Amino acid sequence: MNRSTILVVEDDTPVRNLMVTTLKTHDYKYLTAVNGSEAILFASSYSPDVVFLDLGLPDMDGISVIRQIRSWSNMPIIVISARSEDEDKIEALDAGADDYLTKPFSVEELLARLRVTIRRLSIMKSYSEKDSSVYVNGKLKIDYSAGCAYLDDEELKLTPIEYKLLCLLARNTGKVLTHTYITQHIWGRSWDNDIASLRVFIVTLRKKIESAPDSPQYIQTHIGIGYRMIKTD
């Protein structure tokens, strides 16, 4: 039995019904909202575990819904975008969304995004409980207080930028980070050059942590958008 409660914000009835049916079939609890003001009200009064948020709402822009929720809560938000262009997804991620789905999406995709996000939630909870200074993900380990990273208990020889990048991705495991977000955190700015450098650092980092850099297990690429650290078993 899944006890997570999901808030579905979608004004398009067939899409909303599909989502609700999927959630019901998989034993999730759910709430629905059909516009932005209901979304904000339900998010604050019911504290759902995850929010699915359509960006094209009748009363307000989905981005403003994210900003409002983010002013008081870190609850995971997965945006649903009707456009295949990356700009609105990037804007949503930079405003604080965790992940995105592009319409039309399959039931499997919906469930996969939800699983990643719920896993992220449990990681976040266990960190806050233990206040852990050690990060473990499969064979990868980071000892934040010592400033060292290990693979299979062997210390990795990382450059300062690679280490910073690895820590940033690790601390946000399960969340898609945009190029702008990453470069802002690493270099304090986001110029085109920085995004190009970021690609290079991702390549060198992958060579050190991935057993098959061409089919990465830890760092997932979101083309045109950014990167995400995946929790492996």
The residue ranges that bind Ca ion (CB under 5 A) are 11-12, 54, 56
As a whole number of angstroms, the distance between CA 64 and CA 70 comes to: 10
Minimum distance from residue 16 beta carbon to Ca ion (Å): 9
- In DSSP terms, 31 is beta-bridged to 7
As a whole number of angstroms, the distance between CA 121 and CA 98 comes to: 11
Picking from 12, 86, 94, the residue whose alpha carbon sits closest to that of residue 52 is: 12
Minimum distance from residue 79 beta carbon to Ca ion (Å): 11
Q: Which is nearer to Ca ion, 11 or 194 (CB)?
A: 11
Q: Which is nearer to Ca ion, 58 or 160 (CB)?
A: 58
Q: Which is nearer to Ca ion, 57 or 209 (CB)?
A: 57
Q: Which residue is nearest to Ca ion, using beta carbons?
A: 56
Query: Is the separation of the CB atoms in 228 and 175 below 8 Å?
Result: yes
Q: Which is nearer to Ca ion, 87 or 155 (CB)?
A: 87
The number of angstroms, rounded, from the C-alpha of 99 to the middle of its chain's C-alpha atoms is 4
Three-state DSSP class for 126? Answer: helix
- Phi-psi domain of 154 (left: phi exceeds 0; alpha: psi -120 through 50; beta: other): beta
Minimum distance from residue 134 beta carbon to Ca ion (Å): 43
**DSSP string computed for 152-177:** TTEEP---HHHHHHHHHHHHTTTS-E
Query: Is the separation of the CB atoms in 20 and 8 below 8 Å?
Result: yes
Q: Which is nearer to Ca ion, 16 or 179 (CB)?
A: 16
Q: In angstroms, what is the C-alpha Rg of the chain?
A: 18
Minimum distance from residue 83 beta carbon to Ca ion (Å): 11
Minimum distance from residue 4 beta carbon to Ca ion (Å): 24
Minimum distance from residue 14 beta carbon to Ca ion (Å): 11
Q: Which is nearer to Ca ion, 36 or 48 (CB)?
A: 36
